[in-house]
Structure 1
Amino acid sequence: MKDVYTIYSYEDQEIKEVFSSMKEVDEWIKENRKGNEDDCHIEQWSVDFKEEKQ
């Protein structure tokens, strides 16, 4: 299992990006939503990645 994070924009009504860490989320918000941080909703997802066997 791995945690991933999504940012949903209320203004654009879409998921903007998927990230592997909260640090990446914070950096994206600072770069893209500075002054409008309340526009973003952050969700944490636990995802099970299964490796393909060949």
Structure 2
Amino acid sequence: MRFEAGAQAHNESVFSREIVNGSTKRRWRYDWMLSLRMVDSLKNAQERLIAWDIAP
């Protein structure tokens, strides 16, 4: 029960901007997608560097 209350409070803090209006909701989702894409590109770059190191 205490965990559920904590999770709900966390969700409310995360999505407090979303509740304000619809545009912040879309913006938040865009920011999230952008950060995911950045993480993906960093991983790809790291893998390429590792492969380049291993290559003779």
Q: Given the two structures, how large is their TM-score scaled by the length of structure 1?
A: 0.28
Larger proportion of helix? 2
The higher radius of gyration belongs to 2
Q: Given the two structures, how large is their TM-score scaled by the length of structure 2?
A: 0.28
Larger proportion of strand? 1
